[in-house]
Every structure is written in C-alpha cells, then in structure tokens.
Amino acid sequence: MGADQDNELARALGRIEGKLDMIAASQENQNTRLDGMDARLRHVEKQAATAGAISGGIVAVGTAIAVELVKRAL
C-alpha cells in the first residue's frame, strides 16, 4: 500500500465517521422531540380521561333524576 492509498482510506474513514456522528446527533434530536411529544400527549390523555369521568358522572346523575321524575309522574 502506498501513501496515497493510505491517505484516501483515512479520508474515506473520516467521511464515514462524520456521517455517523451526524446520524447520531439527528437521532438524539428525534429522541428529544419524541419525549416532548409523549409528555404533551400524556397530558392531553389525562385531561380527556378527567373530562370523560366528570361528564359521565353528570350524565349518570341526570339520568337518575330523569328516571325518578318519570316514576313520580306515573
């Protein structure tokens, strides 16, 4: 192997290493974004569950009152 060939291999390895570093940085950025999205989604899901439970309770009470009023009317 000549010096030119060694230099070319070193450059090629350097390019590969640079690309791998870019891929790793990009993946870390995506992981950070996904963690943020996950946290926001978890918050929205908790709010939806709370709203569903409250509205379900209100509907149940309203239905019970309506049934009782119909029973008394008959």
pLDDT along the chain (74 residues), means of 10: 87 96 97 96 97 96 94 86
Counting the structural domains of the chain, the total is 1
Taking the C-alpha atoms of residue 4 and residue 36, their distance in angstroms, rounded to an integer, is 48
Q: What is the largest CA-CA distance in the chain?
A: 105
Question: Quick check: pTM over 0.75?
Answer: no
Separation of alpha carbons 29 and 23, rounded Å: 10
Q: Which residue has the tokens 């509907």?
A: 59
What residues make up the domain containing 34?
Answer: 1-74
